[in-house]
Amino acid sequence: MLRESARTLFERAGGSGRSRKLRDSGGGWDADMIHELAEAGVFGVTVPEENGGLGMGLAAGGVIAEEVGRVIAPEPVVVTVGLSLGLLRRLCPDHAKLEQLVGGETVLAVAWQERGPNGGPAEASCRYADGKLTGGKAWVVGASGAQGFLVVAQGDAGPVLVLAQAGADGLSVEARRQADGSAMGELSFSGTPAERLASGDTVQDALADAVSDTTALAAAELVGLSARAFEITLEYIKTREQFDKPIGSFQVIQHRAVDLNVMCEVAQSGVREALGLMDGEADPKVRARLASRAKARAVTAAKKITRDAIQLHGAVGYTDEFDIGLYLNRALVLSAWLGDDAYHRRLWFMAREAEGAA
């Protein structure tokens, strides 16, 4: 029921064609669509009922993410459900911004990475003192259209989570376009006023858990993207003719299609299993390992399926008029975000080795 409702909502809004239209108009997303998604309960799917959400869990969030991937929707669904709401529901569930996010009244981008070794929060040089931020953040998804920023910074007594409003004094945002037409933001703070939301080790713990959630949801989005890319390709090889026959009638093409279908199904099964296991798992290390397993499988499948899809389309696959190119470009961006397959395989093996040594 949840899947059908989400699919109907996205298809009614214009499907994958909406992604091209918004890209050609300068990027960003449709504010009206944000409100529609909120009314359908999309943003509250993982938020507990006592905090105004649906309390359906991460696996349900994965269902939504798959449907986002199928239509390569430009709205920041995964980053809002996984990161923005993931941080707020863990650290300050009573804050007004949580209710506003669930209701689609605002969009908050999370600024937690910096340029440097690993780009992680442990190396944060962005400082928060006397109610003001100084420094910078990189790779902020959804920065261009956000009404505010949840910033992980270094305070006098350790890490802090603060809220900076878009357009605040001393804040500059530089958008960097990605292969799919979306943008990541480079933020610079110079005495920017910000509200402290939480501080201490709980910030790091909540961030790590939220990143694990988001990584797994990104894997689900890739699975949905891969499934739709395969469907588009299957439809095409049934109609494209060579030697007066559909190319899909040739055995070598059929074998490739079967291989891609198997890869897609295996990735889908693995990601859904990981999301289900994460729902019932409290140990953050185990949850991180499950998220890495999901992302590694999803990235490997998405890269193979979308690249082969381009080849099976022939020359037209390289043109912008055909949707399959949009899926390849989105797969490139989403595969790299939060770590590619090689990165997550390495994390998974390191975690298993550490577990065995213990």
* One-letter identity of residue 73: A
Mark which of 175, 199, 223 sits at the end of a domain: 199
- Whose CA is closest to 107, among 28, 160, 6? 28
Determine the pLDDT at residue 118: 54
The answer on 207 and 353 residing in a single domain is: yes
Determine the pLDDT at residue 123: 60
Quick one: average pLDDT of 19-26? 76
Instruction: Please tell me the number of Cα atoms within 13 Å of 207 on its side-chain side.
Output: 23
Mark which of 147, 172, 199 sits at the end of a domain: 199
Tell me the C-alpha distance between 155 and 132, whole Å.
10
Tell me the C-alpha distance between 265 and 275, whole Å.
15
In the chain, the percentage of residues whose pLDDT exceeds 90 is 75
Mark which of 83, 106, 129 sits at the end of a domain: 106
> What is the separation, in whole angstroms, between the first and last Cα of the chain?
43
Per-residue pLDDT band at 282 (split at 50, 70, 90): very high
Tell me the C-alpha distance between 24 and 12, whole Å.
20
Q: What is the DSSP string of 243-308?
A: TTEEGGGSHHHHHHHHHHHHHHHHHHHHHHHHHHHHHT---HHHHHHHHHHHHHHHHHHHHHHHHH
Q: Which domain holds residue 174?
A: 109-199
The answer on 348 and 237 residing in a single domain is: yes
The answer on 335 and 235 residing in a single domain is: yes
Quick one: average pLDDT of 303-310? 97
More confident residue, 244 or 288: 288
The answer on 353 and 241 residing in a single domain is: yes
The answer on 153 and 50 residing in a single domain is: no
The answer on 70 and 96 residing in a single domain is: yes
Range picked from 108-122, 163-177, 247-261 for highest mean pLDDT: 163-177
The answer on 278 and 162 residing in a single domain is: no
The answer on 85 and 55 residing in a single domain is: yes
Range picked from 104-108, 113-117, 119-123, 141-145 for highest mean pLDDT: 104-108
Quick: pLDDT tens for 26-38: 666 788 899 999 9
CA distances from 223 to 75, 178, 212, 229 (A): 17, 20, 17, 10
Query: Are the CB atoms for 123 and 114 separated by under 8 Å?
Result: yes
**Cβ-count burial of 193 within 10 angstroms (0-12 exposed, 13-18 middle, 19+ buried)?**
middle
In sequence order, what are the beta bridge partners of 135?
189
Quick: pLDDT tens for 32-85: 899 999 999 999 999 999 999 999 999 999 999 999 999 999 999 999 999 999
Per-residue pLDDT band at 120 (split at 50, 70, 90): very low
- Whose CA is closest to 59, among 238, 352, 211, 273? 273
Tell me the C-alpha distance between 218 and 78, whole Å.
7
Determine the pLDDT at residue 121: 44
CATH number of the domain within which 349 lies: 1.20.140.10
- What are the residues whose beta carbons fall under 8 Å from the beta carbon of 287, sequence distance 6 or more? 209, 212, 213, 278, 281
**Residue 357 pLDDT > 90, yes or no?**
no
- Whose CA is closest to 2, among 75, 82, 65, 95? 65
What's the mean pLDDT when you consider all of the chain? Answer: 92
The answer on 141 and 95 residing in a single domain is: no
pTM of the full structure: 0.94
Tell me the C-alpha distance between 183 and 65, whole Å.
19
